[in-house]
């Protein structure tokens, strides 16, 4: 009896103690914001540049629906992808591993069984899992990559067949109604779900419908598909180069041509914004906005001539600086200035669901930044990116070639590189970059290969030296036009050591890289 009375007083003392109130406050600030049945939707938009969206400062009203939705969300101003090609970059988001660490370094790489994908973690935690969308990289291009992303999904759906993919039309990147139907069917169920929505409608070919300036334009691009195989692979340094006679200029790229290309690219964004706006409207109509974490990001951006070429080819910020917007039920809107990466997405999702952290994860949960408390290790953080595989590894798969003369030339261009790939069985030819405190260092590890086999050098006949290191001050040179490596030796040396040590750790993890299936060609 005396013991019970003693315990009662101890308990009452604890309830009114500062320790108890600290525990309450701590649980309130770090506990799950979502109800027990919280859903997660990850929206991955291919090829979307951050600086071509209204919320990131673009003036042409390209994304009114996303802008409106983002006003109630958390916007990350410095979100960087860890790779520059769609499936390699998205793998980082789903595993929180850099490409060399995971072994996913090309379009038909096989992710080792020892690593888990995001859907596997969430399914194990009780969520229904579904993947839908219009990015063929995840559904068609190779058996290996498709099987990687299928892991953990109860439903893995695309409405386009391999035969349709190979017709070379744009249909395989058209909008799909499947996410709308799925939400309508599941809206009244109480079981939590994870939806991964992949959207490929920003990716080239650039808009084939109407867009501003199209009717007035009368240049050589008019009436043709703005795709890699048709035009983009021939444009370099404001010239259109012959693909059948190396080093020969077909024509200059005029100002009106550049405007036409940009307007066509932005038209893809406008179309995609309308689609996403309709999807957000449906979520609100069904009441799912109240208990759903929505993460909106892009696997990479797009070059629009800033470094001489179009499409996505390198790890400049035009390609790896992408949008990241996260909406958490009950979370006040804000903007985050800290540098973050796609490697942080998986840890963030697991943290908000109060799941155990992924032991494999190399990224950080963004929850401290979102909540506004501790910096959580983001101060003085270095963000790393890898340019792997080189575009030349994929060039044979990305060319629709009609004429015998072009086929003969492509063979001449690419056979030496194909031979090189046989020697480089793990395909570890790459460049790497590091961003820290608004400085960016790019290390051209592959420069000898690029000087011999680089696509743009081959078609243009360029023979200039490729510098081993490039250093950029992103505050005054956000498009990385002025290499200041030699003028800032202390900063350059610090980043160089950082990058070399990081790369050394990456290479220690490489055992054997596996591939499965051929990579289907597309344009």
Question: What's the confidence (pLDDT) of residue 278?
Answer: 98
pLDDT in the model for residue 268: 95
Phi, psi of 245 (to 5 degrees): -145, 100
Domain 386-508 fold is Arylsulfatase, C-terminal domain (3.30.1120)
Amino acid 405: pLDDT: 53
Architecture of domain 39-208+252-373: 3-Layer(aba) Sandwich (3.40)
- The number of residues in the chain equals 523
Q: Identify the band that residue 470 occupies on the pLDDT scale cut at 50, 70 and 90.
A: very high
User: What would you measure as the largest C-alpha separation in the chain, in angstroms?
Assistant: 99
* pTM strictly above 0.85: yes
Listed range (50-54, 272-276, 368-372, 424-428) with the worst mean pLDDT: 424-428
From CA 403, how far away is CA 197, in angstroms rounded? 38
Which pLDDT score, from 0 to 100, does residue 518 have?
67
CA angle 291, 326, 344 (to 5 degrees): 115
Q: Which range is least confidently modeled, 60-64, 161-165, 291-295, 338-342? A: 161-165
pLDDT at 146: 87
- Average confidence (pLDDT) over 19-36: 43
Nearest-angstrom CA–CA distance, 150 and 154? 9
Mean pLDDT score, 3-27: 40
Count Cβ atoms below 10 Å from residue 330 Cβ, excluding itself.
9
Is residue 21's pLDDT more than 70? no
Predicted confidence at residue 432, as pLDDT, reads 98
Q: In this predicted model, which residue has the larger pLDDT, 417 or 253?
A: 253
Mean pLDDT over the full length of the chain: 86
pLDDT digits (tens, 9 = 90+) for 178-213: 899 999 998 778 899 999 999 999 999 998 778 999
- Kindly report, residue by residue over 412-454, the tens digit of the pLDDT: 665 655 665 665 555 567 999 999 999 999 999 989 888 887 8
Domains 39-208+252-373 and 386-508 share a fold: no
Ranges of each domain in the chain = 39-208+252-373, 386-508
pLDDT of res. 399: 47
Q: Residue 33: pLDDT band by 50, 70, 90 thresholds? A: low
Is the predicted pLDDT of residue 301 greater than 90, yes or no? yes
pLDDT greater than 50 at residue 316: yes
Backbone angles phi, psi at 197, to 5 degrees: -110, 110
Residue 501: CA count within 13 A, CB half-sphere: 7
Instruction: Give the closest residue to 193 by CA, choosing from 132, 281, 116.
Output: 132
Res 359: pLDDT: 98
Name the burial class of residue 517, with classes exposed (0-12), middle (13-18) and buried (19+) by CB atoms within 10 angstroms of its CB.
Answer: middle
Q: Per-residue pLDDT for 108 more than 90?
A: no
Mean pLDDT of 362-375: 89
Q: Is the pLDDT of residue 162 over 60?
A: no
């Amino acid at each position: 009896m005396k013991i019970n009375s003693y315990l009662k007083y101890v308990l009452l003392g604890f309830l009114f103690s500062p320790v108890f109130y600290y525990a309450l406050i701590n649980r309130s600030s770090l506990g799950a914001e979502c109800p027990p049945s919280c859903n997660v939707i990850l929206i991955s938009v291919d090829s979307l540049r951050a600086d071509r969206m209204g919320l990131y400062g673009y003036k042409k009203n390209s994304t009114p629906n996303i802008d409106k939705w983002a006003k109630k969300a958390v916007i990350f101003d410095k979100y960087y992808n860890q790779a520059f090609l769609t499936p390699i970059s998205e793998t980082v988001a789903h595993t929180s591993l850099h490409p060399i660490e995971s072994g996913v370094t090309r379009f038909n790489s096989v992710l080792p069984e020892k690593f888990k994908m995001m859907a596997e973690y969430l399914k194990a935690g009780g969520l229904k899992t579904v993947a839908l969308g219009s990015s063929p990289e995840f559904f068609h291009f190779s058996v290996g990559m498709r099987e990687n992303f299928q892991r953990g999904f109860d439903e893995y759906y695309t409405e386009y067949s391999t035969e349709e993919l190979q017709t070379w039309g744009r249909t395989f990147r058209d909008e799909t109604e499947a996410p709308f139907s799925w939400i309508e069917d599941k809206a009244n169920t109480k079981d939590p779900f994870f939806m991964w929505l992949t959207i490929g409608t920003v990716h080239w070919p650039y808009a084939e419908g109407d867009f501003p300036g199209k009717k007035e334009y009368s240049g050589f691009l008019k009436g043709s598909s703005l795709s890699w195989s048709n035009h983009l692979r021939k444009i370099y340094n404001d010239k259109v180069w012959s693909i059948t006679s190396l080093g020969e200029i077909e024509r200059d790229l005029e100002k009106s041509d550049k405007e036409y290309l940009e307007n066509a690219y932005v038209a893809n964004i406008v179309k995609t914004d309308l689609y996403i706006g309709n999807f957000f409207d449906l979520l609100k109509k069904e009441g799912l906005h109240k208990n759903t974490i929505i993460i909106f990001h892009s696997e990479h951006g797009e070059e629009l001539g800033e470094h001489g070429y179009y499409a996505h080819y390198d790890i400049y910020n035009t390609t790896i600086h992408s949008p990241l917007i996260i909406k958490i039920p009950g979370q006040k809107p804000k903007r985050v200035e800290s540098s973050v990466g796609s490697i942080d997405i998986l840890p963030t999702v697991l943290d908000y669901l109060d799941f155990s952290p992924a032991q494999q994860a190399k990224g950080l949960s963004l929850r401290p930044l979102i909540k506004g408390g501790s910096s959580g290790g983001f101060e003085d953080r270095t963000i790393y990116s890898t340019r792997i595989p080189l575009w030349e590894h994929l060039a044979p798969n990305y060319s629709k070639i009609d004429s015998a003369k072009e086929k003969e030339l492509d063979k001449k261009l690419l056979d030496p590189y194909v031979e090189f790939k046989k020697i480089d069985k793990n395909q570890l030819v790459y460049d790497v970059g590091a961003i820290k405190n608004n400085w960016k260092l790019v290390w051209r590890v592959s420069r000898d290969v690029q000087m011999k086999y680089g696509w743009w050098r081959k078609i243009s006949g360029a023979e200039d030296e490729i510098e081993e290191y490039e250093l950029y001050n992103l505050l005054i040179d956000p498009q990385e036009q002025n290499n200041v490596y030699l003028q800032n030796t202390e900063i350059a040396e610090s980043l160089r050591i950082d990058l070399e040590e990081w790369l050394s750790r990456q290479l220690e993890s490489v055992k054997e890289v596996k591939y499965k299936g051929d990579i289907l060609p597309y344009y």
